[in-house]
């Protein structure tokens, strides 16, 4: 009998066909209040599951006694309880690496857009308010030659720092759980304490996984260390930041601005105070959202799933 796979985010047609040629497949384009019960019921006979952007709770998985592998189409695995996976001996596969460059491009676009006030000024032009040479009050700040502070010099952090060093002549400082000798050699990056990073950087850019250790790791204390001219860039996870403290720092202009791809609660509510602040550039969690990269992520996630179900070792296991 064929193994049963539950797909909970739409896949490219050829990858869907590939799964259907080998497994019995139940598919959901995405999960919402209307199909949540059906999704949970389908897990009842599932050997594998593949999808993204949905917190997978332990009670959902308690009802999936045959499950051996979950394959997430993301590098982040914070939608899963890793301890639960270990306890049950389940595999959790993810998609590191293939999204490094697209995500680093997004982060660099946030750096440039925040520093040069690109969104604010483009909106001014669209609103027909470009009536003459802009005054000093609408000038931005330089990016080239400034100091980038990477909190988390991993795969994506290194790709951001590479752009900053080679393309923009920026000085790189970083803090990590341990020093990264490759980054120090290639990018002349300097390891500093966490506190020094917040004090010295012109652009503070966390690129950390969301874990119990990193949840709300940046708050009022950290924003108070930052220079008034510094910009905060977050495309890792919203929950690593105390968002109320960030809003306070932006309102009081104790920091210059923020470029954000991720938020404490997503989608960001239309009445979020962040959207009222001209010194904020907000994106809808698009770090890896290019056609090529999302395709590569889906291919990798499908391959991880197939390998796991065939009894082989998937290429990328978080657990
Ligand atoms: N906005 C978006 O669309 C995207 C967001 N992301 C997010 O980015 C995250 C990072 O991805 P990726 O670069 O591949 O991950 P990596 O694991 O390669 O890098 C994370 C880095 O953070 C370091 N780190 C972990 N905890 C701490 C800590 N408490 N203090 C300092 N450093 C720490 C790690 O150090 P060490 O290895 O030494 O522990 C590692 O160097 C993902 O988990 C995901 O949440 C990723 C892709 C797209
Ligand atoms: O947020 C995206 C991811 O891949 O993780």
Tell me the per-residue pLDDT of 28-61, one tens digit each, with 9 for 90 and over.
999 999 999 999 999 999 999 999 999 999 999 9
In whole angstroms, what is the distance from residue 149 CA to residue 262 CA?
18
* C-alpha torsion sign, points 134, 137, 138, 143: positive
In whole angstroms, what is the distance from residue 249 CA to residue 171 CA?
25
Cite the active site residues.
Answer: 237, 266, 285
Q: Supply the DSSP symbol for 248.
A: H
CATH label of the domain that carries residue 84: 3.40.50.720
The residues near 175 (Cβ < 8 Å, ≥ 6 apart) are 149, 150, 151, 152, 153, 191, 192, 193, 194, 196, 197
Tokens representing 252?
């009081």
* pLDDT value, residue 20: 98
CA-closest residue to ligand 2 atom 2: 74
In whole angstroms, what is the distance from residue 148 CA to residue 230 CA?
10
Tokens representing 75?
């590098």
Give the pLDDT mean for 292-309.
Answer: 98
Tell me, yes or no, whether 181 and 92 share the same domain: no
Domain that holds residue 296: 4-98+292-309
* pLDDT value, residue 13: 98
Chain segment 7-17, per-residue pLDDT in tens:
999 999 999 99
Q: Model pTM greater than 0.95?
A: yes
- Round the average pLDDT of the chain to a whole number and report it: 98
Give the pLDDT mean for 233-242.
Answer: 98
Tell me, yes or no, whether 182 and 257 share the same domain: yes
In whole angstroms, what is the distance from residue 203 CA to residue 116 CA?
13
Residue 316 falls inside a structural domain: no
Residue 217's pLDDT band (boundaries 50, 70, 90)? very high
Tell me, yes or no, whether 167 and 296 share the same domain: no
Chain segment 54-112, per-residue pLDDT in tens:
999 999 999 999 999 999 999 999 999 999 999 999 999 999 999 999 999 999 999 99
Number of domains in the chain: 2
Instruction: Judge if ipTM > 0.90.
Output: yes
Tell me, yes or no, whether 105 and 170 share the same domain: yes
Probe residue for ligand 2, chosen from 74, 77, 296, 304 as the CB with the greatest number of ligand atoms within 8 Å: 74
Tokens representing 30?
């995405």
CA-closest residue to ligand 2 atom 5: 76
């Amino acid at each position: 009998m064929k193994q049963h796979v539950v797909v909970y985010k739409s896949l490219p047609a050829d990858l869907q066909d590939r799964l259907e040629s080998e497994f019995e497949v139940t598919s959901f384009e995405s999960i919402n209040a209307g199909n949540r019960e059906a999704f949970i019921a389908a897990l009842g006979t599932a050997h594998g599951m593949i999808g993204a952007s949905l917190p997978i709770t332990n009670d959902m998985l308690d009802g999936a006694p045959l499950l051996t592998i979950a394959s997430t189409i993301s590098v982040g695995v914070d939608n899963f309880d890793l301890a639960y996976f270990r306890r049950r001996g389940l595999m959790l596969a993810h998609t590191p690496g293939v999204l490094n460059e697209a995500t680093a491009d997004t982060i660099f676009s946030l750096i440039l857009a925040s520093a040069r006030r690109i969104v604010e000024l483009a909106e001014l032009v669209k609103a027909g308010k470009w009536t003459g040479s802009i005054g000093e009050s609408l000038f931005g700040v330089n990016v080239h030659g400034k100091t980038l502070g990477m909190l988390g010099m991993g795969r994506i952090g290194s790709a951001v720092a590479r752009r900053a060093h080679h393309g923009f002549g920026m000085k790189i400082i970083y803090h990590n759980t341990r020093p990264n000798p490759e980054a120090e050699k290639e990018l002349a990056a300097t390891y500093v304490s966490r506190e020094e990073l917040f004090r010295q950087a012109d652009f503070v850019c966390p690129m950390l996984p969301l874990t119990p250790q990193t949840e709300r790791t940046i708050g009022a204390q950290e924003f108070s260390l930052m220079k008034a001219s510094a910009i905060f860039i977050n495309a890792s996870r919203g929950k690593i930041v105390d968002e109320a403290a960030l809003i306070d720092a932006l309102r009081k202009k104790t920091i210059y601005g923020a470029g954000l791809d991720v938020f404490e609660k997503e989608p960001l509510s239309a009445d979020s105070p962040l959207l009222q602040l001209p010194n904020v550039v907000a994106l809808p969690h698009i770090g890896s959202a290019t056609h090529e990269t999302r395709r590569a992520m889906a291919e990798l996630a499908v391959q991880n799933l197939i390998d796991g179900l065939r009894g082989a070792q998937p290429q990328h296991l978080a657990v």
